[in-house]
Structure 1
Amino acid sequence: MKRSTVNQIMAEADDFIRSFGFLLPPFAYFSPEEMRARRTDIQAIVDARLGWDITDFGAGNFDEMGLFLFTVRNGDPEHLKAGGGMCYAEKIMIARKDQLTPMHRHIVKAEDIINRGGATLALKLFNSLDNGDIDHDSDVTVHCDGIPRTQKAGDILRLSPGESVTLLQGNWHSFWGDGGDVLIGEVSTVNDDLTDNIFAKPIGRFAEIDEDEAPKHLLVSDYDKWLMPG
């Protein structure tokens, strides 16, 4: 993705998020220079990989396959292992109309996916086989706002604004905006995007950036390059 495209998506996403009364935290608007200057102060932000996350999953066509995410808060995997401390995470996301987030599952993370506003959120769901592969045969039961809902493997679950679904470890899922763009909330156990995303097809989690202009704000995938010493 071109950095100019990333900068534009950030501005559009901020406007869309604000239109629903949701405001990003102050650090969202730090410039790269301010983040460098406040490197010691923002250590927890960097360690938890909080912030902007815009991906085309390495496919090079964001409009067809991509996702906007902003990690608002994130706990520590070591706390999760110990069973105490900050064991949770929160994201705000935008799925554009017909923009696919590809089929994937998580090993550790359980998550609530919430339609916070906009159009309908569509999710295709499967169970996992014992070896972790997609189970194309068994019915899928998930809880939508606390109420169990069962559907056939590969059927589409549609969530209207205000509705949510709980996805547990091993629930294969892909999703997109149905009829328009959707603001999505995610509340989960600790999030680890480096190791805990298993995709059905061999694709990347993060975009490769073509630096055609300066970044307005850094992506979480920029932190190692832009903020680490040396």
Structure 2
Amino acid sequence: MKRSEINALIQDAKDFFASFRFALPPWAFWAPEQWKGKGDSEVVRNQLGWDLTDYGAGDFDRRGLILFTIRNGNLAARHPKKYAEKIMIVRENQICPMHFHWSKTEDIINRGGGNLVIELYGSTPAEELGNEPLAVSVDGFTRIVQPGGKIVLTPGESIFLEQGMYHRFYGEPGKGKVLVGEVSSVNDDNTDNRFHEPQARFPEIDEDEAPLHLLCTDYPKYV
């Protein structure tokens, strides 16, 4: 992805969050030079902040995700914080590909805007898509979902995803962008994503202009 495209998407995300009066921490708006000397911080060590990916597909509008990690622990460093929180924007028909987590459990929450469609499968011992129905908790009530079945979350609704539960999601066509929250156990995108079809988690960046704000993957270069 070009840095100019990333900058434009971050600016759009800031405007979208503001339209819902969802406030980010002050360091979300720091310029790159303000990060110098901040390497020994929870933000940098635990990869908090701006995160954006096209999953290596080169077509962000069709297959991508922009999010901001607000808080997170660190399993490798035995950080005392055992939870994480993210805020995301999912566009109409913009797919977050099929995956599960070995360690993380999570609530996915529609915080506002359009509707969020989540497709679900269980997983086999060989980590393939399962062919058995799933019992899933939607706002604390159990629903039975057939393999590949869909749950549509309207604003205010949430779903609990267990370890090993394959899921992909996208915004329902015609309903607009979705403000999506995630509350979970500790998040580790380097080791805890099992994509059904192997793909990149973080983008390769063409530095055609300077960063507006740093992505969490930019910290090693700038701090």
Deviation at 1:31, TM superposition (A): 0.9
Among 98, 121, 132, the residue aligned to 1:103: 98
Are residues 1:195 and 2:207 paired?
A: no
Secondary structure at the aligned position of 1:134 is classed as coil
2: CA distance, partners of 1:154 / 1:145: 20
Task: Tell me: CA distance 1:144–1:35, structure 2 relative to 1, closer, same or farther (3 Å).
Answer: same
Check whether the contact 2:55–2:202 (CA below 8 A) recurs between aligned residues.
yes
Secondary structure at the aligned position of 2:120 is classed as strand
Tell me the matched-pair count: 221
Deviation at 1:89, TM superposition (A): 0.2
Deviation at 1:225, TM superposition (A): 2.6
Q: How does 1:81-96 map to 2 (within 5 A)?
A: 85-96=80-91
Deviation at 1:77, TM superposition (A): 0.9
Deviation at 1:79, TM superposition (A): 7.5
**Could you list the runs of 5+ residues in structure 2 that have no partner in the other structure?**
none
RMSD value over aligned CA atoms? 1.4
Amino acid at match of 1:9: L
1:130-167 CA distances to partner (integer Å, 9 max, x unpaired)? 222211x2101110111111111101110000000000
Check whether the contact 2:74–2:188 (CA below 8 A) recurs between aligned residues.
no
Amino acid at match of 2:87: I
Deviation at 1:224, TM superposition (A): 2.2
Show structure 1 runs of 4+ deviating over 3 A: none
Amino acid at match of 2:47: R
Amino acid at match of 1:76: N
Identity over aligned pairs, percent: 50
Are residues 1:22 and 2:22 paired?
A: yes
Q: How does 1:137-156 map to 2 (within 5 A)?
A: 137-156=131-150
User: Structure 2-normalised TM-score?
Assistant: 0.95
Structure-2 residue corresponding to 1:73 = 71
Amino acid at match of 1:194: N
2: CA distance, partners of 1:145 / 1:203: 31
Q: How does 1:107-186 map to 2 (within 5 A)?
A: 107-135=102-130, 137-178=131-172, 179-186=175-182
1:48-93 CA distances to partner (integer Å, 9 max, x unpaired)? 100000110111000100001100000121587xxx9310000000
2: CA distance, partners of 1:72 / 1:169: 22
Amino acid at match of 1:45: V
Secondary structure at the aligned position of 1:175 is classed as strand
2: CA distance, partners of 1:121 / 1:5: 24
Check whether the contact 2:2–2:205 (CA below 8 A) recurs between aligned residues.
yes
